Amino acid sequence: MLKVGVIGAGSMGRHHVRILSELEQCELVGIADPDESREELAQQYKTRYFADYHELLQLKPQLVSIAAPTKLHYELARAAIRAGVNLLVEKPVSDDLAQARELVSLAEARQIVFAVGHIERFNPAVQALKQLIELGELGQVLTVHNLRVGPYHGRILDTGIVLDLGVHDVDLISMLLGEQPQRVFATGFKRVHPHEDHAVLQLAFKDGRAGVIELSWNAPYRMRNILVSGSRRYAMCDMANQRLMVYEENEDFDRLMPEPRTVLKSEPLRAELASVVNCVLTGTPPLCPAEDSIKALEVCLAALRSLDSGQAEKVGG
């Protein structure tokens, strides 16, 4: 049995608690959260509650999930690594590049599994889309357009929408195009949030290939879509409903006909946590290592610079 713990048991962390308490290979040894109302959650899942995460680390869990606010990821992850504990940190890995890189080298030096929760990588519709691309069914991928919009839920205050949600799409588009963009141009504004809450990012890749991301906390409807234009076919992946459509040309080549592809629906967070548990048990590398999350962070930080400067910004520049 792998001893596991959860640090930060709010809106996302409570799902980590539920799933880790159910995974067969795990024993949930405790949860840590300064909000004492979380003690009830610990009782519900028959585990121990700590207001102070140091006490949880003293139990020497073999893996912790960190789902506290992004601003605290660095402090909490560093403490876990120093205590020799493998970790899954919720996305974004951090809001600071130097701190994220420091965490990666600390984890490497201690040979600790350090995964980041880019949950959409575990979405079965995204996995089916990735497979289509790898099999060449769409031809060469030319553009990927992601839409992630919905109403603001009032929880995330420490970062704007680019770091909070855009990091999913930057990661996905880079994964689907097989490389990191070279430049990014962003426009946006704020209406309901202290930071930007609506943004459009244009990502420029090599050879004119492009990614476009629209992010909003001002929309009345919730949509999470990926539209892929390939040299042979188009595809539309609905991440929220786990559906995938491929658009085929009809016999007269005058219309594109949607053809649904089979997606076996499943809970992405369960797949993500099971995968990280397996990495720790078998010593295999995680599907989403922290290094990949750093690449997405670099692009998001360039997008934030672009929002300020009004110019396209070099990634990593």
Ligand X SMILES: NC(=O)c1ccc[n+]([C@@H]2O[C@H](COP(=O)([O-])OP(=O)(O)OC[C@H]3O[C@@H](n4cnc5c(N)ncnc54)[C@H](O)[C@@H]3O)[C@@H](O)[C@H]2O)c1
Binding site for ligand X (CB under 6 A): 7-13, 32-35, 38, 53, 67-70, 72, 90-91, 117, 119, 155-156, 164
Beta strands in 160-249 (DSSP E): 183-189, 198-204, 210-216, 218-230, 234-238, 243-249
Q: For ligand X, give the closer residue by CB, 134 or 158.
A: 158
Question: Least distance from C-beta 310 to ligand X, angstroms?
Answer: 27
Q: Considering the complex, what minimum distance in angstroms separates the CB of residue 61 from ligand X?
A: 14
Query: Which residues are CB-contacts of 286 (< 8 A; sequence separation ≥ 6)?
Result: 113, 114, 115, 275, 276, 279
* Minimum distance of ligand X from residue 37's CB (angstroms): 8
> Six-digit token pair at 172?
């996905």
Nearer to ligand X, 156 or 303 (CB): 156
Task: Report how far residue 163's alpha carbon sits from residue 116's, in angstroms, rounded to the nearest whole number.
Answer: 14
Q: Would you say 78 or 261 has its CB closer to ligand X? A: 78
Interstrand relation of 256-261 and 313-314 (parallel, antiparallel or unpaired): unpaired
Tell me which residue has tokens 């919720």: 90
Nearer to ligand X (CB atom), residue 171 or residue 205: 171
In the bound complex, what is the minimum distance in angstroms from residue 89's beta carbon to ligand X?
8
DSSP states along 78-145: HHHHHTT-EEEEESSS-S-HHHHHHHHHHHHHTT--EEEE-GGGG-HHHHHHHHHHHTTTT-SEEEEE
- Smaller CB distance to ligand X: residue 95 or 205? 95
Nearest distance from C-beta of residue 94 to ligand X, angstroms = 9
- Residue 25's identity, in one-letter code, is Q
Which of 100, 111, 102 lies closest to 292 in space, CA to CA? 100
Q: Considering the complex, state which of residue 119 and residue 128 has its C-beta at the smaller distance from ligand X.
A: 119
Tokens of residue 176, six digits: 């689907």
Q: Shortest gap between Cβ of 6 and ligand X (angstroms)? A: 9
